[in-house]
Structure 1
């Protein structure tokens, strides 16, 4: 197959100039850890430790290796086809507009609607438990959402300052909790002894399903490439370093939990991270827990409001969404997309209230939809390697195609084993099918009737706009 050269060949892969002012490595690192570490990940890590004992640490390491597969995939794709559109750009070139729209909408705005609604409900719940006189009434979560949406409207520089601060405080707080437990420096002596190192034997491998949720979302740095300095170096390094740091912190938390909290409590508690802090510091540690909860939730919401609206704006630039989503303020922020995403997140919070079962259902439903996007991204790499073998790739996947094949197999396994009960599985798969069905119906109608293109007609590289490739100055 012959291909015409893309518009960006004069500037390999269309990357921004290294001297251009923008986001540096530390901000991109803060974005990566900020969207990954939420209260839901703390819950999954400590519950997994309660179920699998110290053997769960092996599940954490295996989940980190599975995450490394998608980090390689997104590093290759994002630096080969940089732009705010993210997965929509990669997929339209590999497989056409229909899968591009489905992958982006189902994997990011919808996931954010589910997962961040759950996070805001969790932060309201835990603050209500810790300080009922101050935070007993609903509305704290929506107030945080409104505040962060307003800050993101002010521009990427404000976002960067807020994100760096939130991520630093969050990581230091979690590291303090983990190190206090492992080194036994808490104010309360450890009283827990795990009699068997790995009670599940080889069955501990099934807990990779639980551990993987602690590593999804590192690729949120990719839509920020147009606003980054030296993205060729910083984007892969930010994701890989975040993965290493988070693996270390999760291992510390699991170890601390097993030393200070009974395994039955870890496995069954709705808020095992609260149980750990109480066991370590008693009531005096409640402020530490509040800081961890608020910074984790705010860091994630802040990152999503900075990145997902830029994906939507990139899709609008490519004609995959109504043109209004591309409207930007003078500072470059896609203001309408930010407001739409914030309203999507707020809707479940207002509709579902404080039902714990709803929180669990929202988190698992979000994860199931996310997996579909990861599988499509791995497929994009395989297709583009065959279709455009000569295209400059500032980052090439090591040991290609093994990471993509392992990534698809692992994510497929997780998708079909992601629920703790058959009843919840039916509800989760029903939600996922409904979301994918609605998104696919929209994509079908939009591509055929509005764009007037074939559903799986791949876009030649020469037809990509400068804006969609992130070349706007």
Structure 2
């Protein structure tokens, strides 16, 4: 029989690359279309990228405090359980297990398959089989053991930055480029407040994934020291990369041109390097998306294990069992893969991702609130790390979270409602399991 305790094998480098590799995925190549389409101007678009980074960093600084207080495998699920009760911890874990991680893995697998079919001029009939294969391959590597998934994450993160760096350098040196392309700040047909709000939502989506490293805290050797540095350092790198590559984009194409293309990075690369540039960016996207799939897989497969370890799921013993060879939560990984494959076959990838972003940001915001609540109700707790400039930084994170929630309710009320419904389906499961435990 396998073990029941995860080994402390996650290094600071692996955790850092999980943050960078999960956040820097498809968004950096596709989100400029939505950002500059909403902003209408380069200056306002760049401001949205900065504000999105500030919200993410404020969230990271805030979450780091509660992450070091409760450095246990499970991340946000554990944080909310400790502060607000087991039922809420279960709901976020349920949402992550059933929709959030599988949907992101499925969506990224489809993007990966789309790029492969484009690169090799394959029939679209190969798209779903390729997507299933890459999702299965990544899951299989991670189930062999932490060191294998960590190695893939380290390598893919480093490699994905190479084509990004090439675009940044070539774009900044592009003849005719310069500060003139970064102005004006706004245009008359795009109201400043509403345009900035829509662009900001798009950039926040591109920053998604920074919370997931908290799920690895229980496997870090010194989480009190490592976790805050990993989150802050990783997000700072991400924001710097986002700003630099967007400036490079704007040096080559103006904001309306970026807004008019579905593949802004490929369009910029084609302008810089000709036909070869398109293939270069496609390879870069493949590497980036592969790393994103791996990042979500590393974090996601541990959620069923955490729920099973607390006897919160039917068949909890099955979910909490670890493999003999890699000491990994294989059964939970199998469940995640099956759900991902179903989503790949359903074709509803973008809708599922939009649904869960709304739900996850409700839990994100509650996590920020939990930090403030703990400061008031449990000031005696040992805090290896304290969020700086308290309470300003947590309040920035909370206000950013409320904006995302309210904006989604206003712009996409049906998607928001569906997201809540999928999450609340976990309540009957929770009540059933609690009732089963009481009868024993």
TM-score (norm: length of structure 1)? 0.82
Change (3 A) 1:363 1:179: farther
Match among 198, 204, 215 for residue 207 of structure 2: 215
What is the distance in 2 between the residues matched to 1:112 and 1:281?
36
What residue number does 1:55 align with?
Answer: 44
What residue number does 1:3 align with?
Answer: none
2:274 counterpart SS class? helix
What is the distance in 1 between the residues matched to 2:60 and 2:156?
23
Counterparts of residues 219-230 of structure 1 (less than 5 Å): 219-230=211-222
Match among 196, 206, 212 for residue 205 of structure 1: 196
Match among 351, 368, 385 for residue 395 of structure 1: 385
Task: Let me know the Cα RMSD of the aligned residues.
Answer: 2.6
The answer (yes or no) to whether the contact 2:74–2:214 under 8 Å persists in 1 is no
* Per-residue deviation, 1:197: 3.9
Give the unaligned 5+ runs of structure 2: 1-5
What residue number does 1:31 align with?
Answer: 18
What residue number does 1:314 align with?
Answer: 306
What is the distance in 2 between the residues matched to 1:178 and 1:108?
36
Counterparts of residues 367-386 of structure 1 (less than 5 Å): 367-386=357-376
Match among 223, 233, 246 for residue 231 of structure 1: 223
Deviations 1:90-133 (A, max 9, x none): 22221111111112222455212222222222222233233214
What is the distance in 1 between the residues matched to 2:257 and 2:244?
18
Match among 165, 169, 184 for residue 196 of structure 1: 184
What is the distance in 1 between the residues matched to 2:257 and 2:116?
20
Counterparts of residues 91-240 of structure 1 (less than 5 Å): 91-107=80-96, 109-133=98-122, 137-138=126-127, 139-184=129-174, 196-199=184-187, 200=190, 202-203=192-193, 204-206=195-197, 207-240=199-232
* Per-residue deviation, 1:430: 3.5
1:104 counterpart SS class? helix
Q: Is residue 343 from structure 1 mapped to residue 338 from structure 2 by the alignment? A: yes
The answer (yes or no) to whether the contact 1:45–1:250 under 8 Å persists in 2 is no
* Per-residue deviation, 1:225: 2.3
Change (3 A) 1:277 1:363: farther
Structure having the larger proportion of residues in helix: 2
What residue number does 2:244 align with?
Answer: 252
Deviations 1:362-411 (A, max 9, x none): 33223212212201211322232233221111111122233333322211
TM-score (norm: length of structure 2)? 0.88
Q: Is residue 431 from structure 1 mapped to residue 418 from structure 2 by the alignment? A: yes
What is the distance in 1 between the residues matched to 2:354 and 2:332?
25
Change (3 A) 1:21 1:375: closer
What residue number does 1:274 align with?
Answer: 266
What is the distance in 1 between the residues matched to 2:356 and 2:270?
30
1:393 counterpart SS class? coil
What is the distance in 2 between the residues matched to 1:195 and 1:303?
36
* Per-residue deviation, 1:155: 0.3
What residue number does 1:22 align with?
Answer: 9
1:417 counterpart SS class? helix
What is the distance in 2 between the residues matched to 1:440 and 1:368?
18
